[in-house]
Structure 1
Amino acid sequence: MSNDAAPTVGAAPADAALVERYLEHVRVERRLAARTVTLYSLDLAKLAEFAAAAGMGLLAVQPAHVRRWVAQMHAGGRSGRGIALVLSGWRGFYAWLGREGRVAANPVQDVRAPRQPRPLPKALGVDDAVRLADFHADGEASDPWLEARDAALVELLYGSGLRVGEVVGLDAVASDAALRAGRGWVDLPAAEVQVQGKGGKRRSVPLGQAALAALAQWLAVRGQCPQAARAQGALFIGRHGTRLSAQSIWQRLRRRSLQAGLATPVHPHMLRHSFASHLLQSSGDLRAVQELLGHASIGTTQVYTRLDFQHLAKAYDAAHPRAHRKKD
């Protein structure tokens, strides 16, 4: 056994010998990296510790024991991902014992780690979102074309909650070509945008007054680009007349958010999350938010209720007289 491996503390000599043989197997026959072997040894030392505390040898471990130990690790603060890695190490050990004829079944085979909670989407506070939407770049005052385009981008992303891919796929007006190509378009007279979403599903999303004004201003100057004819109807174009890419939108939005003085660089999906969160805070209508976002399942939209609770919790902490303990 290498010096990097952890000793199987508390293990009976026979169990320690089994672990030694297994680690030698993965090191020599499977040629795993030294770091991986060290991690395996640590996982098996933990297994031996649990087994010793339960008064049993490693060969006597049953699925019920493994589930109990998983619960103990989880209660001790270990993440679901960390437990999954430990279980993977244990599962490999018992699979090897099975091939060696030492156990009849793998006690870890059907045991799974606790599911990790879905991370909350990152959303801007209302003040920061409005600050970004109201921002006008002083350094680009001499380039009204670029300023009008980027302002319209922000208003559309935050005001309608579109995905960046949906924005990229928008045309300036409806056309047979757009329909055949599965693209969306803006309809200013109707104050809505027709979106081609995930899975080819179409939906209509209303445009607010700020977005309407920004889009009208952009469309008034869009044709001033000498190569605009190359855009083939694209709503948002670059200086070379080609349809603006998702990467370009990410870069422009990041730059604009930093210019606006926001502490965190903003990306397009953050504005989509902000749209959903702020709309839910104001309306409480989860079904309406689902329709506007184009989610197939209400479960996908429900993550924003957790953001809404965070907003309420912060308001409580800041304002309620019982939220703070009295100072001595």
Structure 2
Amino acid sequence: MTPLALPITLPKTLQQPLDRFYEYLRAERGLSLHTQRNYKQQLQTMAEYLVHVGVTDWQAVDARWVRQLASKGMRDGMKASSIATRLSSLRSFFDFLVLRGELSANTARGVSAPRKKRPLPKNLDVDEVNQLLEVNEDDPLSIRDRAMMELMYGAGLRLAELVDVNVRDVQLRSGEIRVIGKGDKERKVPFAGLAVEWVGNWLKVRKEVAAAGEPALFVSKLGGRISHRSVQKRMAQWGQKQAVASHITPHKLRHSFATHMLESSNNLRAVQELLGHENISTTQIYTHLDFQHLADVYDKAHPRARKK
């Protein structure tokens, strides 16, 4: 919601309750100055808009007006997070008025902010993946790291799944790994090619690092199961060492696996199974089709799109 062109002097029926609320925030809630300023800015802007449309009393602001305040913000191009902040400040203010007996009910409580768009992590292109995985150092930890990255990209594992894999879960000959996904659901994941080769290379040198009796496939330099944080740190370091422009994370490798598989196969159901998603809607959000491919399919398939 953008400020109106000219400053508006609020009527006492709107301004005085706001002043009491600001004093309450300062004296009783003990909020930071930054938070107090945010509340004041959001409420002032809404109050000015209400005056502009002829509403001069907070008692007149019912759920319909609250929805209109949110809609105005959307029309003005506000982000969903900013609208959520604005409605939150209004709910807090109305809670205060209800507590003081100046409102009978908080009409902002039943109005939800628009859902935030779920940001998609940027995937690596194939050249960046190849650049990252050109790790040819022969010390055990470097072999381990390449095996982890090859497996993340080659099988699309979640970070937790990678860390939790045990040696007994890996079948190199058949190219299968048993993983426990979200909700403790077990699935078998295929892997092949360089992923199989480098997991095999790691298994040959793993005994030089792993503690006796340690079941984990991937272990730290101390011999125990490697931690989530260590995997994240090592992959980021390899990204820098290999001069990859993108910041490397385990999730980015998984997302790249999903994106490249989907673009090559166009089989959403298969990618859903490989990723271990319970609902296909999750896969649709998590991955994105190459738009040019969609455009080509449309041009070839739609009767009214074919050139005569």
Work out whether the TM-score is over 0.5: yes
Q: Within 5 A, what are the aligned runs for 1:9-24?
A: 9-24=8-23
Q: Spell out, residue by residue over 1:196-216, the C-alpha distance to the aligned partner (whole angstroms, 9 max, x if none).
A: 222221111111111111122
| Structure 2 counterpart of 1:55 | 54
Counterpart in 1 of 2:220? 238
Aligned-pair CA distance for 1:233: 3.0
Q: How does 1:166-177 map to 2 (within 5 A)?
A: 166-173=161-168
Residue of structure 1 in register with 2:285 after alignment: 303
Change (3 A) 1:104 1:278: same
Pick aligned residue for 2:261 from 279, 285, 288? 279
Q: After superposition, where does 1:216-227 map in structure 2 within 5 Å? A: 216-223=200-207, 225=208
Q: Supply the distance in 2 between the matched residues of 1:229 and 1:310 (Cα, whole angstroms).
A: 49
1:18-33 equivalences in 2 (<5 Å)? 18-33=17-32
State percent identity of aligned pairs: 38
CA-CA distance at 1:70 after TM superposition: 0.7
Match for residue 136 of structure 1?
135
User: SS state of the match for residue 289, structure 2?
Assistant: helix
Q: CA RMSD in A?
A: 2.3
5+ long unaligned stretches in structure 1: 1-7, 174-184, 316-328
1:123 alignment partner in structure 2? 123
Tell me the equivalent position of 2:147.
152
Distance 1:87 1:230, change over 3 A: same
Q: TM-score, normalised by structure 1?
A: 0.81
Deviation at 1:13, TM superposition (A): 2.7
Partner of 2:302: none
Contact 1:157 1:271 in 2 (8 A): yes
1:163-211 CA-to-partner distances (Å, cap 9, x unmatched) read 12212222223xxxxxxxxxxx110121111112222211111111111
Mapped partners of 2:220, 2:13: distance in 1: 71
Checking the alignment, whether the CA contact within 8 Å between 1:9 and 1:45 is kept in structure 2 is: no
State the alpha-carbon separation in 2 of the partners of residues 26 and 311 from structure 1: 53
Question: 1:211, 1:29 → 2: CA distance?
Answer: 60
Q: Is the 8 A contact 1:231 1:241 kept in 2?
A: no
Q: Kindly report which structure 2 residues correspond to 1:44-193, keeping only aligned pairs within 5 A, or say none.
A: 44-59=43-58, 60-133=60-133, 135-137=134-136, 141=137, 143-173=138-168, 185-193=169-177
Q: Which runs of 5+ in 2 are unaligned?
A: 1-6, 297-308
What is the one-letter code of the residue matched to 1:151? R
Task: State how many pairs are aligned.
Answer: 289
1:11–1:260 CA distance, 2 compared to 1 (3 A): same
1:274 Cα deviation (Å)?
0.7
> 1:198 matched to which residue of 2?
182
Cα distance change, pair 20–310 in 1 and its aligned pair in 2 (3 A): farther
Q: Describe the shift of the 1:102–1:131 C-alpha distance in structure 2 as closer, same or farther (beyond 3 A).
A: same
